[in-house]
Structures are given as structure tokens and as C-alpha cells.
Amino acid sequence: MEKTFYMLLYRAFHAQRNYLRPYIGDLGLEIGQPKILAYLAKRGACCQKDLADYFQIDSAAVSRMLVALEKNGFITKKTDEESRRSNSIELTDKGYAAQQKWRLRCRETEKIMLRGFSENDKTCFAEYLARVYQNFREEKKDET
């Protein structure tokens, strides 16, 4: 196996995605939607811009996900009383239940992914991934 960090990260990401992807459909969700449900479950109601900013994706992509999630009964959108131009997005009971099932599946995935890692290894690995992410964020800021 190639030992470049790029290829190792890609292969790990690809393996994780392939492990989780079938379960997304079992829940009635589409690619990208579980993260929206997870955000709403953890932080509560928010607006579309909050989601786009947090996940660093364009508002149009978020909008498409929200339309499908609302159509399938996972979320509701209500006009924000303070700012009539934006909607407040909230989980429904169905959305919360799907998110809880997704969270359990992700925990199972982490157990497989981190099998044989010590607690120190896990802590270091999490810190390394956070630093990688931060490096990319800083690089992007420097480009603008």
C-alpha cells in the first residue's frame, strides 16, 4: 500500500464511506443529510446560513438537502419571527430518531476504525486530524 498521507487519508475516508453509505439509505436519507441532522440534534434550531457556514458548503447545496429532508419529514422550516427573511430549521421526531440511529452506527464505525488503538493513540489521532483541518483552513484564508 502506498504510504503518502494523501493516499492513506483517501483510502481511510473511502473505506469509512463505503461502510456507512448503505445505512444512509436504510434510514431514508441521502448523502450529506446525516450531518445536517447531527448538527440540529446537537445545537437545536438554526438557519440555513449557520449550516452552510459550519459545514463550509454553499447555501444552494444546503437548500437542496433541506428541501429533501423537509419533504421526507425529517425537519420542519418555520419563518423566523425576528428575521422574516430566514427560516428556523428544526428536527422532527422522525428526524431525531433517524439521527439517533445514525449516531449509533457511527459509534460502531469508530470502534472498528480505532480497533487496537490505545486511548493515547486515539487522543493523538484526533489532535492530528484537527491540526490537518486547521492547516487547510489557514491556507484557505491566506489565499483570499
Sketch the domain layout of the chain as residue ranges.
Answer: 5-113, 117-144
pTM of the model: 0.84
Residue 144: pLDDT above 80? no
Least-confidence region, from 1-10, 94-103, 119-128: 1-10
The average pLDDT across 44-58 equals 93
Return the pLDDT at 79.
80
Question: Tell me, what amino acid is at 82?
Answer: E
Return the pLDDT at 137.
87
Rounded Cα distance between 32 and 46, Å, is 17
Return the pLDDT at 108.
96
Return the pLDDT at 2.
72
**b or e along 22-41 (b: 16 or more beta carbons within 10 Å of the residue's beta carbon)?**
ebbeebebeeebbbbbebbb
Q: Which class does domain 5-113 fall in? A: mainly alpha
Q: What is the pLDDT of residues 117-126, one digit of tens each?
A: 999 999 999 9
